[in-house]
Amino acid sequence: MESPHLPAEIISYILSFLHVTDRKEASLVCKSWYDACQDPQFQKNVTFKFPVSTSSLDFIRSLARSPRCGLVISHVDGSSLSRQVLMEVGLHLGPRLDSLALPGSSVTETSLLGLLPHLTGLRKLDLQGLDSLFMSGAFLSREEHRRQVQNALRNLEELDLSDLRYLSDLSFNRLTSCTPRLRSLSLAGCHISFEFDPYRGCPVGFGSSALVSLRNLLSFLQKQAATLHSLDLSRTSITPESLRSIATLPGLRLEELSLHGCKELTDYSIEILCKQQSGLRTLDLRACTELTSRTVLAVATELKELRSLSLSQDWKITDKGLAELMTLPSLRSLDLSECLHVSGADLVKGLSSPQPRAQLETLSLRNCTYIKDTVMLSLTQLLGCNLRELDLTSCVCLTDLSVRAITTYLPALVVLRLGWCKEISDWGLLGMVEPTKDCEPTDKKEYKGPSFTRTFGNMGFFQPPSLPFQEKPRLVTEEDLGAFREHQEGASLLALRGLQELDLSACFKLTDTSITQVLRFPDLQRLSLSMLPEISDDSLVSVAYHCRSLTSLALSHCPQISDQGMARALPLLHKLQHLFLACCDAVTNETLAIIALHCDRLRTLDVSMCKDITVHQVDLLQSQLPFLKKVQCRFANGADFTMV
């Protein structure tokens, strides 16, 4: 089908309204649509990912006509094919290559040194985990190689050296001497000796050939203080004294700092950091387990330009200081997941203060088990239309009232995670009030007299108290659904029109009644309905019909999902890339045959512990789907295939 009557510019304009995956499909319609899809406006900031293979050679040559792009090439080793792939990259892309990453590779020094001099326009280089380059200690040891690489990397802005076990002062200095304009450096997970050299049994020296020392790192930071704005020292053994040394370096003005998993850091060291580096915009303090609310107060007091803060897994942090934190006008992202003592009351207090106050776009309260409906009702009203991502996974005290508050006051949500909120039911998703429940949240319960407990069972003297799991919720009837359809938009989940990710895992009370009525999101890409024992094929088919943009679907531990449902749903999910069906006992080899017919984009499949899935059919499926790279089939058909 050709469309010669429309100019390419008009077709390109029309196609610009499509998502990139849809535009890729449109490019296959005809030649004029293909040419329109090659418009330079669609080729900006594009990164191509592929493994080393014979077919990748032709693909690299086809990129010769493309504008600037990035490459992520996996499984590069010392073979002749890998060397040829890198040579083709240098020959056909050369100065137009914007970024390069080589994950899961064991590239040789000769191959990389043959490529780098051609990449004169490179802005980002990712050498994460490439121990093969640094194991010998001879990387860039020759002066002529350093001159060639320095000429190519003179404009490099981002360098990732994370997880390099053999990085030393010597190799680090040789490489960074070729990158005079670095803006971002990552040394996450590297063996940095901050105080003591374990190889020499003495304090850290300078110019070590075995490890990176604090003195050498301070020297580098001093030289590049004018340009360096981002530093990642996550998962290192940095000490409070070392952090203070870095923070007080003259001329160093960091905007982004990551200290994830640095367990020795103290509140005092973070206070010094905040005073000396007051221009920080992004601060990651996840899993710094010694930090307390003193750190929160220091951040709120000193970092007035902060946009993103992560305090996940900092178990000693309480509500104290969160009210002050909410007065930072630039704050857009806050992660408090697994801060077990946070109840959210001070978040409400801070957001209730007069302007200026934080305009949060992303909020994570995952595993904050003290979060209650009353707090969520206030938070949702205060956050309003700004919030786009909300994670409430495992906030086990939340009920349908919180769901109604979310759908009423947060219409701009793109990501919503409610996994393991076990009190959420069909009523909440439908935006209706269960007739047997109160309409408003309350923390005060009516006094009903003294209660008695006995450790040796009920002897007949007292009526034992009713337990939560003994209360059976009132089921939604056809009459209730009729009322819902009359006021469909209301406070139901349908109000979140732009939702792209939804997690309802382990919300055990959910049934087909709500799933078939409210999961109707044309832009939804990731959906998890795992561990919902009451949903059946009806829910699956309804989701497939109304959510055709899905790329990831999780249905693990849904015993009523069967081959019949998969046969009706999968032909509608053309974009599906990740499918999880672990412990779906009604799923058999027939589903694998259906997947082979309709899911040609599938990359990940989990059929673990599906008793009627055979290893032969799994192998056959992998041979039929070229993009299927990860298959989990542990204990399928009663055997552990991962051991074969």
> What is the pLDDT, as a whole number, of residue 312?
97
Q: Does residue 204 surpass a pLDDT of 60?
A: no
Instruction: Quote the percentage of the chain above a pLDDT of 70.
Output: 87
C-alpha to C-alpha distance for 283 and 299, rounded to whole angstroms: 9
What mean pLDDT is predicted for residues 61-76?
A: 88
What mean pLDDT is predicted for residues 213-237?
A: 95
Q: Does residue 575 surpass a pLDDT of 60?
A: yes
pLDDT tens digit string along 144-153?
999 999 999 9
Q: Does residue 42 surpass a pLDDT of 90?
A: no
Q: By the 8 A CB rule, do 277 and 253 touch?
A: yes
Q: Does residue 65 surpass a pLDDT of 70?
A: yes
C-alpha to C-alpha distance for 206 and 136, rounded to whole angstroms: 19
CATH classification number, 511-643, choose in 3.40.50.1000, 3.40.50.10490, 3.40.50.1970, 3.80.10.10: 3.80.10.10
Q: Does residue 629 surpass a pLDDT of 80?
A: yes
pLDDT tens digit string along 248-262?
999 999 999 999 999
Residue with tokens 């905040």: 274
First vs last C-alpha separation in the chain = 49
State whether CATH 1.20.1280 applies to domain 1-42: yes
> What is the pLDDT, as a whole number, of residue 444?
47
Domain boundaries defined on the chain: 1-42, 511-643
Q: Which of 618, 545, 619 is nearest to 581 (CA)?
A: 618
What mean pLDDT is predicted for residues 323-345?
A: 96
Give me 543's structure tokens.
């989701």
Burial of 458 (0-12, 13-18, 19+ CB in 10 A): exposed
Q: Does residue 549 surpass a pLDDT of 70?
A: yes
Q: Please state, rounded to an integer, the average pLDDT across all residues of the chain.
A: 88
What mean pLDDT is predicted for residues 401-425?
A: 95
C-alpha to C-alpha distance for 289 and 266, rounded to whole angstroms: 9
> What is the pLDDT, as a whole number, of residue 462?
52
Contacts of residues 351-354 at CB distance under 8 Å and 24 or more positions apart, as own/partner, are 351/326, 351/379, 351/382, 351/383, 352/378, 352/382, 353/323, 353/326, 353/327
Q: Which phi and psi angles does 367 have, rounded to 5°?
A: 65, 15
> What is the pLDDT, as a whole number, of residue 1?
47
> What is the pLDDT, as a whole number, of residue 644?
36
What mean pLDDT is predicted for residues 81-104?
A: 93
DSSP string, 144-188: HHHHHHHHHSTT--EEE-TT-TT--HHHHHHHHTT-TT-SEEE-T
Q: Does residue 469 surpass a pLDDT of 50?
A: no
Q: Matching CATH topology for 1-42 and 511-643?
A: no
User: Which has more pLDDT, 161 or 46?
Assistant: 161
Instruction: Quote the percentage of the chain above a pLDDT of 90.
Output: 70
Q: Does residue 642 surpass a pLDDT of 50?
A: no
Mean pLDDT is lowest, of 304-313, 431-440, 557-566, 611-620, for 431-440
Q: What is the pTM of this model?
A: 0.87
C-alpha to C-alpha distance for 514 and 558, rounded to whole angstroms: 16
pLDDT tens digit string along 372-391?
999 999 999 999 999 999 99
Q: Which of 112, 132, 133 is nearest to 122 (CA)?
A: 112
- Alpha carbon separation from 107 to 71, 73, 82, 151, 476 (Å, rounded): 15, 11, 8, 22, 60
C-alpha to C-alpha distance for 261 and 236, rounded to whole angstroms: 8
pLDDT tens digit string along 486-511?
665 458 999 999 999 999 999 999 99
H-run or E-run covering 83 = helix 80-92
Q: By the 8 A CB rule, do 170 and 209 touch?
A: yes
User: Which has more pLDDT, 105 or 18?
Assistant: 105
SS3 49: strand
DSSP string, 264-283: T--HHHHHHHHHH-TT-SEE
